[in-house]
Amino acid sequence: MRLVLLGPPGAGKGTQAKLLQEHFRIPKISTGDILREAVKDGTSLGKQAKEYMDRGELVPDAVIIDIVQERLAAADCRDGFLIDGFPRTVAQAEALEEMLARRDLALDGAISLRVPRKELVKRLSGRRTCRQCGTMFHIRFNPPKKDLVCDNCGGELYQRDDDREETIEARMEVYDRESAPLHEHFRDLGALYEVDGSKTTDQVFQQILRKLGKAA
């Protein structure tokens, strides 16, 4: 299974990616996680990416395409993968399709999580993320048992810089301008599976499985 997850910030891509990874036993590639790790490690990629990320803008296509190309070449991606957070532009989608075509492969589908804008802002501004394992919580909708401590690994929970209200608006604008056109791109390819992302985590997951079942 070769899948990509589309949707605006806060749509639940990370949460669904984790479930799909376990269900299909395929590696999950999150470009946001790769970049955040690079920022944490202070690598040259991290230094370059941080400026864009802090402003809520996209890292340049060439940089992100290289990262994905290298990651997809790894042995664990041979029989399938799920990418969360890529493609985010039509140029990235075309680059991905070329990468796969060179190996006589194609995507099985692009899953799009649709969530009303108001709901997204509520989700993002209350989101807290574990510094160690990346598990996400929400201060109201899904609070950790102990304040600022991850239920999963005991790591510290923090608010991503780009989850602050002033940056959320910029990210939404970038999404509308750069990423929303991906829907048409994948619809034209007959590979778009749209899902109502405003339901519970499990309901969203079941919808995805149903859609993919129909697709198979």
- Of these residues, 88, 140, 177, 210, which one is catalytic? 88
DSSP secondary structure letter of residue 175:
I
Alpha helices in 78-159 (DSSP H): 90-102, 117-125
Closest CA to 112 of 33, 189, 25: 189
- CB closer to ligand AMP out of 63 and 149: 63
160 is known as an active-site residue: yes
- Work out how close the CB of 147 gets to ligand AMP at its nearest, in angstroms, rounded to a whole number: 24
CB atoms within 10 A of CB 202: 9
Asked if 124 and 13 touch (Cβ cutoff 8 Å), the reply is: no
Using CB under 6 A, list all residues that contact ligand AMP. Answer: 9, 31-32, 35, 52-53, 56-59, 64, 85-86, 88, 92, 162, 171
- CB closer to ligand AMP out of 39 and 191: 39
- CB closer to ligand AMP out of 36 and 191: 36
- Strands of the sheet with 81-84, listed across from one edge: 28-30, 81-84, 2-6, 109-114, 192-196
Closest CA to 28 of 7, 8, 63, 4: 4
List beta partners, residue 2.
81
- CB closer to ligand AMP out of 136 and 192: 136
- Work out how close the CB of 71 gets to ligand AMP at its nearest, in angstroms, rounded to a whole number: 12
- Of these residues, 2, 28, 123, 127, which one is catalytic? 127
36 is known as an active-site residue: no
Strands 2-6 and 81-84: parallel
Tell me if residue 128 falls in helix, strand or coil. strand
CB atoms within 10 A of CB 107: 19
- CB closer to ligand AMP out of 16 and 92: 92
- Of these residues, 13, 36, 123, 128, which one is catalytic? 13
171 is known as an active-site residue: yes
Asked if 162 and 53 touch (Cβ cutoff 8 Å), the reply is: yes
- Work out how close the CB of 139 gets to ligand AMP at its nearest, in angstroms, rounded to a whole number: 19
The catalytic site residues sit at 13, 88, 127, 160, 171
